[in-house]
Amino acid sequence: MKRTIPLLLASIAGFIMIVAYFSPHTESWGEEVAVWFNILAAVAFILGGGNLLKIHLRKVSDRNSGWMYSVITVVSFLVMLFLGLWKFGVNPNPQFPDYGHWAGEYNDSTSPFYWLYEYTFKPLQATIFAMLAFYVASAAFRAFRAKNFEALLLLATAFVVLLGRTAAGVFLTDFIPADGPFAALRLEEMTQYLMNIFNTAGNRAIMIGIALGTASVSLKILLGVDRSYIGSGDD
């Protein structure tokens, strides 16, 4: 029973969303299910936060490798949670003056929560993404080795696109008239052609494949064939 009820709820909610999408007469049903989703998401956040604390506190208690990072994670989580829930430094909402700062937005620009997010979390996030560029460059160097004709074609295409996106590429083929019969040989024009024709065709094929895969997995979940999301317990 503990697996049957979640399966029924998931199937009913999924089919309601599908019907609401294709029929304007049932659009309100989809909005109602979206409200259910928000409630479940709020509960999931609580469970996720509890699981995060459980895992990292256990790591700190056992003094496992990297346990200091777990301390930083737990402290950061608790500080942000405390500041967000209590709304310290938030300006009151003029529509509800009797409730003071509780009626204001938790991410108000005057709150410590906003400052920590903007000037601590965002710079760290940007740093991580900037570091990924070096890993991408290293992976590209290993992948773009002309071992066969396909790899050579990939290498040549990548070289043209990368060079055509820079000022150096424009400078190298600047001697070709921009409005003449050979204008298509300019690197920026070749780059634009590759991106608009070949890249777009490849992206569309990939997106169609993703859509078909998503549809098949969704049907398996709605029909109860795939039950991995409810665990491995017995009915």
* The residue type at 36: W
What is the model's pLDDT at position 49? 94
What is the model's pLDDT at position 1? 67
What is the model's pLDDT at position 55? 95
Residues 44, 31 contacting (CB under 8 angstroms): no
Residues with Cβ within 8 Å of 117's Cβ and at least 6 positions away in sequence, in order, are 80, 107
Distance separating alpha carbons of residues 14 and 176, to the nearest angstrom: 57
Q: Average pLDDT, stretch 217-222?
A: 89
Distances (CA, A) of 171 to 164, 178, 188: 10, 12, 10
Query: Quick check: helix, strand or coil at residue 106?
Result: coil
**pLDDT of 117 over the 90 cut:** yes
- Comparing CA positions, the residue from 137, 132, 173 lying closest to residue 158 is 137
What is the model's pLDDT at position 118? 95
Residues 113, 84 contacting (CB under 8 angstroms): yes
Between CA 67 and CA 17, with CA 46 as vertex, the angle to 5 degrees is: 130
Least reliable range by pLDDT among 13-27, 85-99, 145-159: 145-159
Distance separating alpha carbons of residues 74 and 58, to the nearest angstrom: 11
For 166-214, give the DSSP string.
Answer: SHHHHHHTTTS-TTSTTGGGSHHHHHHHIIIIIIHHHHHHHHHHHHHHH
What is the model's pLDDT at position 81? 92
Distances (CA, A) of 79 to 25, 49, 122: 46, 13, 16
Residues 193, 184 contacting (CB under 8 angstroms): yes
**pLDDT of 234 over the 60 cut:** no
* The residue type at 12: I
Higher per-residue pLDDT: 161 or 230: 161
Higher per-residue pLDDT: 95 or 1: 95
Q: Is the pTM of this model over 0.75?
A: no
**pLDDT of 203 over the 90 cut:** yes
Summary mean pLDDT of the chain = 87
Beta-carbon neighbour count of residue 46 at 10 Å? Answer: 9
Query: Which parts of the chain fold into alpha helices (H)?
Result: 4-22, 27-62, 67-86, 112-116, 122-143, 149-164, 167-172, 187-193, 200-222
